[in-house]
């Protein structure tokens, strides 16, 4: 609605938004995942499939805080997406917005390591 462009045309939306946002812009798709533009590429992915959602409260905030923290620490977009999604996944498995938040250390445990590489992120040049 912001751009007046059909949400299915991500290339066009990101090209429009990137005129105004000189950094990272994330478009969430709920349980279908997200797309992200860094003014050069579009990164798209789904969500972790092993998660049993109990309460979605706080999932977006958990993603945003997890992504931001990890990006500030590593400057690696794909790793930060995976961490943000894992943080959101952990939150939706419990009731309440501030439960089950991940730390960088807890993300490196065996449970997350086996799912981390299974989450595929596509990277497309922004035209």
Strands (E), the chain: 25-28, 34-37, 41-45, 121-125
Average pLDDT, the chain: 88
Average pLDDT over residues 101-118: 76
pLDDT in tens, 66-88: 999 999 999 999 999 999 999 99
Quote the domain boundaries for residue 56. Answer: 10-125
Q: Strand, helix or coil at 26? A: strand
Tell whether the model's pLDDT for residue 103 goes beyond 80.
no
Q: When comparing pLDDT for 58 and 33, which is higher?
A: 33
- Looking at the 3D structure of the chain, how many domains does it have? 1
Most confident option among 26-30, 52-56, 111-115: 26-30
CATH number at residue 78: 3.40.1190.20
Q: Does 1 reside within a domain?
A: no
The answer to whether position 2 is within a domain reads no
Q: What is the pLDDT of residue 31?
A: 86
For the chain, counts of helices (H) and of strands (E): 5, 4
Ranking 4-18, 48-62, 77-91 by mean pLDDT, the lowest is 48-62
């Amino acid at each position: 609605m912001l751009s007046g462009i059909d949400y299915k045309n991500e290339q066009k939306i990101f090209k429009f938004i990137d005129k105004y946002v000189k950094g990272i812009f994330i478009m969430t798709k709920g349980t279908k995942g997200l797309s992200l533009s860094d003014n050069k590429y579009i990164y798209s992915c789904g969500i972790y499939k092993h998660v049993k959602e109990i309460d979605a409260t706080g999932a977006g905030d958990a993603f945003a805080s997890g992504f931001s923290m990890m990006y500030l620490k590593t400057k690696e977009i794909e790793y930060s997406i995976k961490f943000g999604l894992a943080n959101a996944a952990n939150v939706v498995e419990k009731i309440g917005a501030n439960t089950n938040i991940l730390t960088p250390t807890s993300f490196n445990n065996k449970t997350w390591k086996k799912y981390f590489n299974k989450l595929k992120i596509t990277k497309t040049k922004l035209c």
